[in-house]
Structure 1
Amino acid sequence: MPRGGIGRHGLRPPPRRFRCVTAGRDYRDVARTQWWRAAAGAWLLGMTLEYIRYRIAEPDRAEFEAACARAAVPLASAPQCRAYELSHCEEEPGSYILRIDWTSTEDHLKGFRASDAFHAFVAEVRPYVRDIEEMRHYAPTRVAGAGAGAAEDTAPNLYEWAGGAEAWERLTEAFYREVHRDDLLEPLFRHMDAHHPHYVALWLAEVFGGPEHYTEERGGFQRMADRHLGKGITEQQRRRWISLLMDAADEVGLPADPEFRSAFTGYIEWGTRLAVANSRPGAGAAGWAPVPKWGWGVAPPRRS
């Protein structure tokens, strides 16, 4: 598949030999980092990759990049657009690829193209329509992954920042002790496997950048999602679950810095809402998908 697709670790970063062009600035390093951070749950939400390949003559390249930067403004405002990137080939500088990640092909063709944003976008790039060599939609496959040289940066991930496997085990042990004492949540977990806290610790560790033990031992995302089928989890139970987990995080001494807690809470909000949806009557079994990978987002850790 095209480099820059989705693997079990999420979206793959842009190839190193392409320079990301936005408003005339070189965003190579930033784009690669943001590409990874934008990936959490991307497979679960579904997406379509549109590739538009241009062949631009040397005298027109600067204006072409400027036109694309202007066109990016209405493109970025469209709810159907999840991300975009214009790159050019280092071996053939006149060869450009505009990659747009759409929420779906239908959203692109019937939503975006019927909007004012589309007309504003086309107005900027219309002079270069004749230079298009390919314009197609691509769907990601499972055949992708991260290489050894694709490390996001030197910052510790959330798993490491929290204290590694031991910290996540302490968290889930403290949390489920309180769950069994809680009138609202106890019925949901009355017949819980004695090893359930350990399994959840494995899950959280993998989500936040730790070893993939949950996938190896328990079956990955599909196993976790299917555990919620038919549970009928209420919004009140979801909120209580979050409240008790945050109390447990304080009790066991998980990092209290705002950067960690905002990233941690962001995943918990996302994950619990997905669990509620999967627990509703009529919800079907989940298909294969990678365990989501959660990162720091826009606020990496501050080093002392």
Structure 2
Amino acid sequence: MTAHTVEYIRYLIPEQQSAEFLAAYTRAAAQLAAAPQCVDYELARCEEDFEHFVLRITWTSTEDHIEGFRESDLFTDFVAEIGPFVGSIQEMRHYKPTTVRGTGASVPTLFSWAGGAEAFTRLTEVFYDKVLKDDVLAPVFEGLAAEHASHVAAWFGEVFGGPAAYSETQGGHGHMVAKHLGKSITEVQRRRWVNLLQDAADEAGLPTDAEFRSAFVAYAEWGTRLAVHFSGPDAAPPAEQPVPKWTWGAAPPYQP
């Protein structure tokens, strides 16, 4: 898959024209929102000098922007709105993201919000106690290794923003996914796994706020659906990949 590209368009707009400029982009934004080549967009205004604006648009690729959006009727309508301000553009370039990225500490990780490693250890202990007593899932986990729960606790911890304990001791995402090859997991078993995990989260005392639980369940759904896919008869072993990093969804972290 081609990496997304980010276009930055920098404007210098005289303050007396700023209201007209913002109104034009409010209308033009409808064309960006309708473009299948557009991932997201944001127009920002400089705090120190109100005449400076930066439009950031994430495109599916540079080619999709130039050969797709710019050749479409949407672009014609887009230019019709912002055309009067084209002469005020100071920069219009495409950028590729680098590997230097991350989040700051102003937003807690799901790992820390849940209570850290101890919380995920409690979770997996409660969960696998339930699994081994469950008629639907017990056959899948027959002969479960004694260290399995601790490995999954490390996996959850890393996925939700904690230390890279799983990667350092077991491997990456491909290592975890490969454990499901040939298991022929059914949809009934997948659903039961997700439901028992939620029950275990309640019993283990994980946070119950809507923001945390929605992100928690979203990962459980994503992960178990991948497990079903790779457990199928035609699934090929996956390439080695890093452990996925899960974070908060569209809702902000819970504020007590």
User: TM-score band (shorter)?
Assistant: 0.7 to 0.9
How many residues matched? 253
> Match of 2:7?
51
Deviates more, 1:70-79 or 1:244-253: 70-79
What letter corresponds to residue 73 of structure 1 in structure 2? A
Deviates more, 1:233-242 or 1:117-126: 117-126
Change (3 A) 1:108 1:172: farther
Larger-gyration structure (1/2): 2
Inter-partner Cα distance in structure 2 for 1:54 and 1:255? 43
> Match of 2:201?
249
Match 1:190 to one of 142, 149, 155:
142
Contact 1:78 1:117 (C-alpha < 8 Å) held by counterparts: yes
Contact 2:28 2:82 (C-alpha < 8 Å) held by counterparts: yes
> Match of 1:180?
132
Inter-partner Cα distance in structure 1 for 2:169 and 2:253? 30
> Match of 1:83?
40
Match 1:151 to one of 105, 110, 117:
105
Structure 1 unaligned residues grouped into runs of 5+? 1-44
| DSSP 3-state at the match of 1:188 | coil
Q: In angstroms, what is the RMSD of aligned CA positions?
A: 3.4
Inter-partner Cα distance in structure 2 for 1:107 and 1:240? 41
> Match of 1:26?
none
Match 2:163 to one of 208, 211, 214:
211
Inter-partner Cα distance in structure 2 for 1:232 and 1:116? 48
Inter-partner Cα distance in structure 1 for 2:13 and 2:208? 54
Change (3 A) 1:90 1:129: same
Change (3 A) 1:144 1:279: farther
Contact 1:158 1:296 (C-alpha < 8 Å) held by counterparts: no
Inter-partner Cα distance in structure 2 for 1:96 and 1:165? 44
Inter-partner Cα distance in structure 2 for 1:228 and 1:139? 35
1:67 is the counterpart of 2:24: yes
Contact 1:208 1:294 (C-alpha < 8 Å) held by counterparts: yes
Inter-partner Cα distance in structure 2 for 1:60 and 1:223? 59
Render the CA deviation track for 1:184-228: whole Å, top value 9, x for unaligned: 333433344321211111121222232232233333333333333
Q: CA deviation at 1:298?
A: 0.8
Change (3 A) 1:112 1:212: same
Inter-partner Cα distance in structure 1 for 2:155 and 2:239? 16
Q: CA deviation at 1:278?
A: 3.7
Question: Normalized against structure 2, the TM-score is what?
Answer: 0.77
Contact 2:7 2:59 (C-alpha < 8 Å) held by counterparts: no
Contact 1:54 1:96 (C-alpha < 8 Å) held by counterparts: yes
1:263 is the counterpart of 2:215: yes
Contact 1:267 1:294 (C-alpha < 8 Å) held by counterparts: no
Structure 2 unaligned residues grouped into runs of 5+? none
Q: CA deviation at 1:270?
A: 2.3
Change (3 A) 1:55 1:110: closer
What letter corresponds to residue 294 of structure 1 in structure 2? T
Question: Normalized against structure 1, the TM-score is what?
Answer: 0.67
Identity of aligned residues (%): 49
